[in-house]
Amino acid sequence: MIFELLWRDYFRFMMKKHRNKFFLQTGIKDSSQPINKHDAKKLKTWIDGKTGSDFVDANMIELKLTGFMSNRGRQNVASYLCNDLKIDWRYGAAYFEQQLIDYDVCSNWGNWAYLAGVGNDPRGQRYFNIDKQADDYDKDRSYRKLWLNQVDI
């Protein structure tokens, strides 16, 4: 618990230090994540939970319907947007800003920049193996079944 709260403080101090840089595509680094030409349709599949990656989709549906997503889910869907869809990470951060009931400017933009490889991570881009994560954290598929079976949104 204390460790997790330290993250929260850390992002707050980082925002105080770097200010508006956290809203640039390059974040607090000099280089940006590799991105493709912007594709609004792909972004919409991510938002609507229709990417075809069931763990990502279940999390995005939960976010859309409830305004909440677990930390594990947030990391996976952010990695998917940045590394698989190669969409500018700021679209993801802006959508979270719109949806999250626990939205916090420092934690949201700081975590997104971190996952996009333009924040406070010495290891660079965080690439999540989504299938492995789904297997590790939702082995019996009950989480995915719950959200993927919601009425069409």
Ligand X SMILES: Cc1cc2nc3c(=O)[nH]c(=O)nc-3n(C[C@H](O)[C@H](O)[C@H](O)COP(=O)(O)OP(=O)(O)OC[C@H]3O[C@@H](n4cnc5c(N)ncnc54)[C@H](O)[C@@H]3O)c2cc1C
How many C-beta atoms lie closer than 10 Å to residue 124's C-beta? 12
Shortest distance, CB of residue 42 to ligand X, whole angstroms? 18
Is residue 111 near ligand X by the rule CB under 6 A?
yes
Interface residue with ligand X among 59, 75, 79, 83 (CB under 6 A) is 75
Shortest distance, CB of residue 101 to ligand X, whole angstroms? 9
| 60 vs 78, beta carbon nearer ligand X | 78
Computed over its alpha carbons, how large is the radius of gyration of the chain? Answer: 15
Q: Which helix (H) or strand (E) holds 36?
A: none
> Which segment (13-21, 24-32, 42-50, 99-107) binds ligand X by CB under 6 A?
99-107
Nearest to 29 by CA among 127, 134, 130, 125: 125
Question: What is the Cα–Cα distance from 134 to 150, expressed in whole angstroms?
Answer: 19
Q: Within positions 53 to 72, which residues make up the interface with ligand X, using CB under 6 A?
A: 70-71
Shortest distance, CB of residue 76 to ligand X, whole angstroms? 9
Is residue 147 near ligand X by the rule CB under 6 A?
no
**DSSP assignment of 66-127:** HS---HHHHHHHHHIIIIIS---HHHHHHHHHHH-TT--HHHHHHHHHHHHTSSS-TT----
Binding stretches for ligand X (CB under 6 A): 1, 4-5, 7-8, 11, 70-71, 74-75, 78, 96, 100, 102-104, 107-108, 111-112, 115
